[in-house]
Structure 1
């Protein structure tokens, strides 16, 4: 514990200024009188013209709802021309403070209503939007306010800033899934002992293959025994070192590691200069399902799910993997129950203010500031589609309202994410698209080079540049290692969305969706909403061709596939009917054939799959007579899933059969795939298939259908939380289940490295920028370029002024970050970039000012009381942080505390503008030496005793 008044055994004394105790005692006596209501405010003569501050005005007695409704009707929280602001007269500093005080009281009313336990989460949604609007307007006002003696900061005051995100670190080893839940030396579960797999190691272009036959391991096959056996095989291949000594050629080694709370896992290390690939001698197919789960309740959020089903080639599949994940919101400190009272004024105001003053002092002096990282709450996240590459890696696309991996969500709502997993569910990498506005990812495809293509819609822009407003289709291409290769937005006057994507044999990208207008010259728009198909260059993303189809009604292309002959198949909903048509790949306007399958009965088209000349359409229908060809099974009532087989004869086609999949409750199929003469579908059900009990309000399910006859092979119901569960996408993997998955690993080349630059690892786009001003000079633009590391970016920042600014790349636990500091007594201000081109948010920075230490912690009066010397004003930070919200009761309470602190900071800043006659008198009467008068010594002792009681009672000083 640190004593503010002297030193005790084992503690440190901090002598901030040379004051005798008589002056300090009188100072605190004056402070106590002020806190308890005695009129010790500076006299009007000290303030200049008579000023009645806004906080001295009569209290607003209107109800909380009335005050919030007034705020809702305002265009802005900020009004520099209000009656309250006019109280300041011509004083620029006071005017800014009065304007902010009014904005904070408005924000406080909204926060109070959101923090009320009787306010529902549904009602908090609009309040949260209002809060974010207010905070944004307040931040903009603080950044641009014209001030004289004050420096105001939206966040905390500091002599440096550091990006809130790092670029991550390449792994030195791969850690598999924890497979041993028991003792470390127990036999590996699920291992028979005759399994065989191969470890292939490549170094300097030369590959050696090591066959690992588990039957060669003597004794129980434990993780340790397996790792030792693999390593004994690897070291048999040798080379000569520089001294001519025989040494192992490869550094790769297998090991065993404890995974906190999960058990033990295999590891593979020594991969920096070597590529390690794994393959099993015997592989079995699996299905991967992507979807979402949500508990029952108004405050429940959706989380994305990834499920692996093994044994799909038999009649009884098993759920081998179930991963649930979500993006995260900004850090929010938990509001303890005991902290609710200060926010509502129910505790002793004097004690609480003293506590806060001591806490602020500790914060400003950076004493004991270390704390555990705040919790980051999970936020709304869902998966929309899944695909498997040629090695067996699994890719999932969806949308999240939060941050993911190293990337900060810069959107106005949800952003598109792409994640890569191995077959055991281990995350390899994650990316956010970096959309401005709100974006949704609907579809996913993988080309012949294992590049990954994502398609969806964005209400804004995907690269910071947008010519026309409204919702647009977008396509983005990533390498298998996670590098963004290109992005394309169909930025036209039309409102459009891309709902499906595939890749042709040449590697060009085909997308399908709907549009309310033309996409290119030459298109003919039928009216209302038309379906569309577009072709993009696989190399650059340039639009090569588009076509619209439809009449005056509503048409939507729901899925797209490449036929066996290379032409294009499109499944669409057209005024409530399901239609499959085949387009000439060389001329999209040439329809080779079309099959109308009838009225969907308020149902939908879920997906399209092709195997040879067989085309399979799946979805949901409320029409018992839906489809064509032979009827397989019967419609169960309500909405049922369906699969229709269409035989493609090249220039013509006909429906072979229609199979219904469902229960007596509501059912629907969301996606379909085909392999080996079988059709696999995934969706959701409100009923129960066969002997599978339903665990939630709805469950996800998968089913296997004979692709020739339409007969049902099996159904598998997949529950989760006792709420809502659904599968949105399905993918077939030929090597999803093997000895490797039993070992917590997966087939393919292990990936440990990624491109660690700014535009790859964050949501910053090449061309995004921010501004820096030095010593109140002109704003200078700092632009992020393609391939920038933080080191390169820091070098360009330093060239703005070698004398006054220091930017550097620093190493942290989160990887490399950018730090900007002041030099030689300078003051630096950071400004956001313009519009969608702002880089600060994606870097985890905010518009702010940074100051030299002599201004932050020097002899100039900074404690918020009226200045006692010639220096007036000072630096005041309101300590707002990114992610403040009113979306939950706890978040609103935390916000309310921040707003109350900001209001107090406004008052402190105002008092700093005027000389305090009492302090001046005390200063003039103080002497450098001499005894403390008995009365003041007694008062000082009382303060020391009071602080001791606060400490003993669990106060803020520990």
Structure 2
């Protein structure tokens, strides 16, 4: 589900597996036939995996994000098991106190990379008796930033208790900071992204010094990022916001919407200096991005890429895709080069002067009829809404 690279070019991967999984000569076995977490390190010098670790319990656990800072490796995800073990640390799922309830809690875990081996140092949980979902993580020094969303009545992030103000089967989003104190960690502050109706989901996160950037989408008429309020232009709208970390507290500096007459979803963001790059997909006919307007090439979803200043103003926008559904999933920036990756089900998809030809029928994607979420057929179908799909 996620990768990270350290200063020496080592590649760290995290995700989930069932049964037995081989990482070169290293074999991991899940505790039961349900998915467990894996974290592994691959060396570009030996072209081989150096170490691999598993974590989990009797039910399903998934690592969704990974970040590396020096010899510290951080993993963020979800666990369904009543108890889940991360090395010597055991986390207890809060839904286990409610008879008959099985919902995911959040976990953040730290490993120390000792070169040829690794070990879990600590693990922290967050969440409530309802579903809590992990999407992205960023690290700056000893500060660990996480984002995701939750369903149900409320969630707990350290001492922060956030109420879901939407109706049943809707989600609210959050951003939280943990401080790594070496042998342990704790939640320092948390921010609530909420609306009065509909769902809000944060899907992307980046950190640059004490500036934290978060992006996602909202389906209700309005969304509040602290004192920053955004109005919906129709369907689901994207949002991008900047948080200033003041140490033990934080505030939203600005928020910007990505809005047309139908659906616009932000899936990833990257930051370089004072430049903020955002990508996602849209199915509205015309998508305005400041003074730039993008026209949809067909009746499905097209890719967009846009650059904003550090004050939240659009600089430029680019469009890609074909007549069917095309999606951007991730983005990275290095200097003035911006890289975007995703998938397309159109017969042909245009990226500027380059045209890609689809060699098959494409992988079907599902859209929730109640506009709660977009999910891959092989991923979590309807983290927030498990009802009607098309």
TM-score, reference length from structure 2: 0.73
Q: Cα distance 1:400–1:626, how it changes in 2: closer, same or farther (>3 A)?
A: farther
Shift of the alpha carbon at 1:519?
Answer: 1.2
Q: Write the distance in 1 (CA, Å) between the matches of 2:143 and 2:42.
A: 25
Aligned: 1:515 with 2:174:
no
Q: Write the distance in 1 (CA, Å) between the matches of 2:260 and 2:294.
A: 19
Shift of the alpha carbon at 1:549?
Answer: 1.9
Q: Which has the higher contact order (CA 8 A, sep 6+)?
A: 1
SS in structure 1 opposite 2:163? Answer: coil
Q: Give the equivalent residue in structure 2 for 1:527.
A: 165
Residue 693 of structure 1: which of 357, 361, 364 is its match?
357
Q: Deviations over 1:586-627 (max 9, x none)?
A: 265522111111148445321110001000111111123234
Residue 503 of structure 1: which of 139, 143, 146 is its match?
139
Q: Give the equivalent residue in structure 2 for 1:454.
A: 75
Q: Give the equivalent residue in structure 2 for 1:682.
A: 341
Bigger mean CA deviation after superposition, 517-526 or 588-597:
517-526
SS in structure 1 opposite 2:287? Answer: coil
Structure 2 counterparts to residues 322-337 of structure 1, below 5 A: none
Structure 2 counterparts to residues 692-731 of structure 1, below 5 A: 692-698=356-362
Residue 7 of structure 2: which of 390, 405, 416 is its match?
390
Residue 301 of structure 2: which of 627, 634, 639 is its match?
639
Residue 277 of structure 2: which of 616, 620, 632 is its match?
616
Shift of the alpha carbon at 1:571?
Answer: 0.7
Q: Give the equivalent residue in structure 2 for 1:426.
A: 48
Shift of the alpha carbon at 1:692?
Answer: 4.1
Q: Cα distance 1:628–1:433, how it changes in 2: closer, same or farther (>3 A)?
A: same
Shift of the alpha carbon at 1:693?
Answer: 3.5
Q: Cα distance 1:524–1:430, how it changes in 2: closer, same or farther (>3 A)?
A: closer
8 Å contact kept, 1:387–1:444: yes
8 Å contact kept, 2:138–2:206: yes
SS in structure 2 opposite 1:407? Answer: strand
SS in structure 1 opposite 2:20? Answer: coil
Structure 2 counterparts to residues 794-809 of structure 1, below 5 A: none
Shift of the alpha carbon at 1:503?
Answer: 0.4
Q: Cα distance 1:435–1:660, how it changes in 2: closer, same or farther (>3 A)?
A: farther
Shift of the alpha carbon at 1:496?
Answer: 1.1
Q: Give the equivalent residue in structure 2 for 1:407.
A: 28
Q: Write the distance in 2 (CA, Å) between the matches of 1:411 and 1:487.
A: 21
Structure 2 counterparts to residues 233-312 of structure 1, below 5 A: none
Q: Write the distance in 1 (CA, Å) between the matches of 2:260 and 2:77.
A: 27
Q: Write the distance in 1 (CA, Å) between the matches of 2:50 and 2:341.
A: 25
Q: Give the equivalent residue in structure 2 for 1:577.
A: 237
Q: Give the equivalent residue in structure 2 for 1:628.
A: 289
Q: Cα distance 1:522–1:566, how it changes in 2: closer, same or farther (>3 A)?
A: closer
Q: Cα distance 1:625–1:541, how it changes in 2: closer, same or farther (>3 A)?
A: farther
Aligned: 1:672 with 2:343:
no
Q: Write the distance in 2 (CA, Å) between the matches of 1:588 and 1:577.
A: 28
Bigger proportion of residues as strand? 2
Q: Give the equivalent residue in structure 2 for 1:473.
A: 106
Q: Write the distance in 1 (CA, Å) between the matches of 2:288 and 2:41.
A: 37
Q: Cα distance 1:433–1:522, how it changes in 2: closer, same or farther (>3 A)?
A: closer
Q: Unaligned stretches of 5+ in structure 2?
A: 96-102, 220-235, 364-375, 379-390
SS in structure 2 opposite 1:483? Answer: strand
Report how many aligned residue pairs link the two structures. 313
8 Å contact kept, 2:137–2:205: yes
8 Å contact kept, 2:238–2:264: no
SS in structure 2 opposite 1:581? Answer: strand
TM-score, reference length from structure 1: 0.31
Q: Deviations over 1:510-551 (max 9, x none)?
A: 100012313144544242321111111223232222222212
8 Å contact kept, 2:105–2:128: yes
Q: Give the equivalent residue in structure 2 for 1:483.
A: 119
Q: Write the distance in 1 (CA, Å) between the matches of 2:355 and 2:215.
A: 33
Q: Write the distance in 2 (CA, Å) between the matches of 1:614 and 1:661.
A: 21
Bigger proportion of residues as helix? 1
Q: What RMSD in Å do the two structures reach over aligned CA positions?
A: 2.6
SS in structure 2 opposite 1:626? Answer: strand
Shift of the alpha carbon at 1:677?
Answer: 0.8
Structure 2 counterparts to residues 144-159 of structure 1, below 5 A: none
Q: Write the distance in 2 (CA, Å) between the matches of 1:623 and 1:423.
A: 43
8 Å contact kept, 1:535–1:546: yes
Q: Cα distance 1:560–1:453, how it changes in 2: closer, same or farther (>3 A)?
A: same
